[in-house]
Amino acid sequence: MQNLQEQASTCNCGHHEKITLETVEIGNDALEQVAQYTERRQFQRMVLVVDNNTFEAAGERLQQLLSSEAEAIITLCTIDPNASGDVVADEASIVQLMLSVEPGITDVIIAVGAGTIHDITRFAAYHMHVPFISVPTAPSVDGFTSKGAPVLLRGSKITIPASGPIAIFADSGVLTQAPQELIAAGFGDMLGKYTSLLDWQYGRHTAGEPYCEAAYRITRDALVACVSQAEAIGARTEQGIRTLTEALIASGLAMLLFGQSHPASGAEHHLSHYWEMAYLRRGKRQLLHGAKVAVACAEVARMYRELAAEGDPALFPEPVRAELLARIAADVPEPSRLRELLRTVGAPVSPDELGVDEELLHRSLQEAQHVRPNRHTLLKAFNEQRLSTLH
Ligand SMILES: [Zn+2]
Ligand SMILES: [Zn+2]
């Protein structure tokens, strides 16, 4: 938080949003600190949102800690899995939580879980005008602080306005015990910044997309820190998990500061979203967000490096040509390097390992920009250029 404020104070881009997040605590006593915080804020009626796994991982202990305060009245809301056994952010889960929250009476909602529990909570918190506290149980995504909730409505995924948390308490004891695939997914979500940051530079220079140097630097530093700790993250050491957690939170804060997702989401996220929609249509079980983002990042990196080598002036126009080509060469790693990093943390390294078939991959590389039509990525520029030469 302090670093964020320092970085923000040196940037005069004119795009900074006010950040309403009050507190970020990362450490091995973060659960205890939740209880101190709610006492200080005089929150008495609290709804604790968990699923069966996160209740065991942290919810039960947090419930005990909060109950030690005499005035506290805690309602436990255990979100039920759907028919395929997954806890998802859909109508049913949202209504389940909303029925546990009493408008005008509930003081705070506490989300104890990974991305999905947070998405359910931020939607309900926003619509019921109740603040919420984030207690992540896995360092799996950079979206804990997000003000948008991706939810499933009638089987389609849409992102709707929602609340960000007023405080985050990330307990390293809990996070180091998270399932390895969730840790690997969090690392994958960070790795995706290699291409999202490049796309941001591309959009800024070729299409006048808004830009913030502080948000860029915060995200880039978080990415570099994460990559330097890949071994430790794969081995789930406390230091490794702490670095990953800090990086994910920093990336989320950079988006809050800038008010838009440019720093953290480029073509790799559009591919991931495209695959997700295809999986929903086929009724296939969803893949982890960060696992998709990382594999997509390697595919996009391969494409961008090839495009830079070809150097088509229509894609890399003057006067920004040299800068863009240099950035791709310096900032977008070889796909083999990205795969090596993914292997280090135990993540899927290829579309094949992930379960994305050749046809879907091919189609997504041609069409994924439509997921976010106003975002000027190099993928979008390439596909528009390709289509214009066909006609
Ligand atoms: Zn992401
Ligand atoms: Zn700025």
CA 257 to ligand 2 centroid distance, Å: 8
Spatial separation of the C-alpha atoms in residues 264 and 289, rounded to whole Å: 13
Q: Provide the residue-wise pLDDT of the chain in tens; the chain has 391 residues.
A: 778 888 899 999 999 999 889 999 999 999 999 999 999 999 999 999 999 999 999 999 999 999 998 889 999 999 999 988 899 999 999 999 999 999 999 999 999 999 999 999 999 999 999 999 999 999 999 999 999 999 999 988 888 999 999 999 999 999 999 999 999 999 999 999 999 999 999 999 999 999 999 999 999 999 999 999 999 999 999 999 999 999 999 999 999 999 999 999 999 999 999 999 999 899 888 899 999 999 999 999 999 999 999 999 999 999 999 999 999 999 999 999 999 999 999 999 999 999 999 999 999 999 999 999 999 999 999 999 999 987 6
pLDDT given for residue 285 in this prediction: 87
CA 344 to ligand 1 centroid distance, Å: 20
For residue 276, the ligand closest to its alpha carbon is 1
For residue 159, the ligand closest to its alpha carbon is 1
pLDDT given for residue 264 in this prediction: 97
Spatial separation of the C-alpha atoms in residues 294 and 287, rounded to whole Å: 12
pLDDT given for residue 309 in this prediction: 98
- Are 148 and 142 in contact by the 8 Å Cβ rule? The answer is no
CA 54 to ligand 1 centroid distance, Å: 21
CA 254 to ligand 2 centroid distance, Å: 9
For residue 262, the ligand closest to its alpha carbon is 1
CA 159 to ligand 1 centroid distance, Å: 13
For residue 141, the ligand closest to its alpha carbon is 1
For residue 259, the ligand closest to its alpha carbon is 2
Whole-Å CA distances, 219 to 7, 248, 255, 260:
11, 9, 9, 13
Spatial separation of the C-alpha atoms in residues 161 and 100, rounded to whole Å: 21
CA 357 to ligand 2 centroid distance, Å: 40
Q: Domains in the chain and their CATH numbers?
A: 2-176 (3.40.50.1970), 180-211+262-390 (1.20.1090.10)
pLDDT given for residue 217 in this prediction: 96
For residue 15, the ligand closest to its alpha carbon is 2
Whole-Å CA distances, 26 to 13, 33, 55, 136:
29, 10, 20, 10
Distance of CA 225 to the CA centre of its chain: 17
CA 301 to ligand 2 centroid distance, Å: 26
Spatial separation of the C-alpha atoms in residues 194 and 142, rounded to whole Å: 14
Spatial separation of the C-alpha atoms in residues 391 and 383, rounded to whole Å: 13
pLDDT given for residue 162 in this prediction: 94
CA 102 to ligand 1 centroid distance, Å: 32
CA 251 to ligand 2 centroid distance, Å: 14
Q: Which residue, 172, 178, 134, 139, is CA-closest to 21? A: 134
CA 49 to ligand 2 centroid distance, Å: 35
CA 83 to ligand 1 centroid distance, Å: 26
CA 266 to ligand 2 centroid distance, Å: 19
Spatial separation of the C-alpha atoms in residues 134 and 137, rounded to whole Å: 10
CA 65 to ligand 1 centroid distance, Å: 32
List the beta strands (DSSP E) in 66-155: 73-78, 108-113, 132-136, 148-153
For residue 4, the ligand closest to its alpha carbon is 2
- Are 155 and 329 in contact by the 8 Å Cβ rule? The answer is no
pLDDT given for residue 84 in this prediction: 82
> Tokens 């989401």 appear where?
265
